[in-house]
Structure 1
Amino acid sequence: MNTHHRLVLKDIRIALAGSPLLSLDAEIGPGEVLTVMGPSGSGKSTLLAYLAGFLAPAFQASGQVLLDEREISRLPAERRGIGLLFQDPLLFPHLSVAGNLRFGMPRAAPDKAGRVEAALAQVGLGGFGQRDPATLSGGQKARVALMRLLLAEPCAVLLDEPFSTLDRPLRHDTRRLVFDRLREAGLPSLLVTHDREDAEDAGGRIIELGF
């Protein structure tokens, strides 16, 4: 696996109806997590939508988004090579746990069943492949969502407050698991949150918006 991915945000400026919302310059190296913090309305989710390719037409954006030296801001979302982890794990209810993990895997990936089982074992869910996602706890769903993301082999990851719905005792362990796996995979990651503990566990640079 390529462990040298790099995400560069160059002179990013986003406005709403001509009114500036945020500006950002940042470089995120392999395995690094950049945390963007700010209160509601400061533009955190708008930034993620822009990077992922889902920005609503009401917003105006400029600048360059370089992933492995490739300008991706004009590409459709599915061709950007960016993985997403949301507040809600968004597991497909009509698929088993294993089906969810297979869903995002590259079509030509060899031994999908073996890779799925190995991925589940890595996060303490060995033997869970045939389970219905509805039977999983919040922490288990978060782990399945993480492994589904990694098996899709993205080149960078965006995290949209993915720990905020978990019970507090679970949050720290889940954060450590997520950040450790992203580091191991060498993925540049951008986390948006309003939770200071998220930022501390991420262990990287913090940019604060709208304070």
Structure 2
Amino acid sequence: MVTDALIFEKVRIHRGDALLIALDAEVPPGDVLTIMGPSGSGKSTLLAFATGTLPRGFRAEGRVLLGGRDITALSPQERRIGMMFQEDVLFPHLSVGGNLAFGLAPDVRGRKARRDAVERALAEAGLEGMADRDPATLSGGQRARVALMRALLSAPRALALDEPFSKLDANLRAQIRDFVFDHARALGLPTLLVTHDPEDAAAAGGEVIQIAS
């Protein structure tokens, strides 16, 4: 067993009496497991179970392990799984820099250390000098990069991606996909991607599991 892997062990998710998801899988560090299927097939439900946000009305069995630790009963914050959504979910009342600072891990203390971490993230995303910008003034691609960097600043041990590229145009979509997957590989983060787009799955390059409707 890969100790830093994200592992789904005998996971079964039911909606009422119906079995919605059945999964046994291991996602090694830096790899992407893609869950594909049409709307309503349960893709996002699996992601919610992994991140500790499974809605009422669903019943789950099995375990989620991350880094050799059973995280199934932990709160979403304790699981340390970074999230990217279909919407970038940037806070409109905060600047770009404020959004990034919000994601900083608790062990980054002191004004200078926090400012330096934000500036490094902006530079890495090609957004130097934009700390004071209103998120509403950013392009779709810039907002997506900020959303990823905010997730990474929380020092996650895995990533969960819920259709994060679906609202981008084709050219930008390919660019942001590469940006996200390159970072996941470089940081050795096991990644769970849910999508209905075969191009997303192909770009991810890992195992693909198809869920029927």
TM bracket (short chain): over 0.9
1:107: Cα distance to partner? 2.3
- CA positional deviation for 1:79: 1.0
Is the Cα contact below 8 Å between 1:120 and 1:126 reproduced in 2?
A: yes
Query: 1:1-211 maps to which residues of 2 (within 5 A)?
Result: 5-110=4-109, 111-210=113-212
Task: Tell me how far 1:73 sits from its aligned partner.
Answer: 1.0
Moved over 6 A (4+): none
Whether the 8 Å contact between 1:100 and 1:148 is mirrored in structure 2 is yes
Q: Aligned-pair distance for 1:205?
A: 0.8
Distance 1:7 1:57 in 2: 24
Moved more, 104-113 or 23-32: 104-113
Q: Deviations over 1:36-65 (max 9, x none)?
A: 101112110110111111111211100010
- Contact 1:5–1:67 (CA under 8 A) maintained in structure 2: yes
- Aligned equivalents of 1:185, 1:102: Cα separation in 2: 20
User: Which runs of 5 or more structure 1 residues have no equivalent in the other structure?
Assistant: none
Count the aligned residue pairs: 208
Q: Deviations over 1:14-52 (max 9, x none)?
A: 011111111001001111111010111211011011111
Question: Partner of 1:164: helix, strand, or coil?
Answer: coil
Q: Quick one: which amino acid aligns to residue 69 of structure 2?
A: R
Instruction: Judge conservation of contact 1:18–1:60 (CA < 8 Å) in 2.
Output: no
Contact 2:41 2:212 in 1 (8 A): yes
Cα separation, 1, equivalents of 2:174 and 2:97? 26
Percent identical residues: 55
User: How far apart are the structure 2 equivalents of 1:61 and 1:125?
Assistant: 41
Query: d(CA) in 2 for partners of 1:112 and 1:52?
Result: 26
CA-CA distance at 1:133 after TM superposition = 0.3
SS of 2:174 mapped into structure 1: helix
Q: Is the 8 A contact 1:14 1:62 kept in 2?
A: yes
Query: Matches of 1:5 and 1:69 in 2, distance apart?
Result: 6
User: What code does the residue aligned with 2:102 have?
Assistant: F
Normalising to structure 2: TM-score of the pair?
Answer: 0.95
Q: For each residue in 1:152-209, what CA deviation from the matched residue of structure 2 results, as whole angstroms up to 9, or x when unmatched?
A: 1011110000000011110001100100011111100000000000001111110101
| CA-CA distance at 1:108 after TM superposition | 2.4
Q: Which ranges in structure 2 are unaligned for 5 or more consecutive residues?
A: none
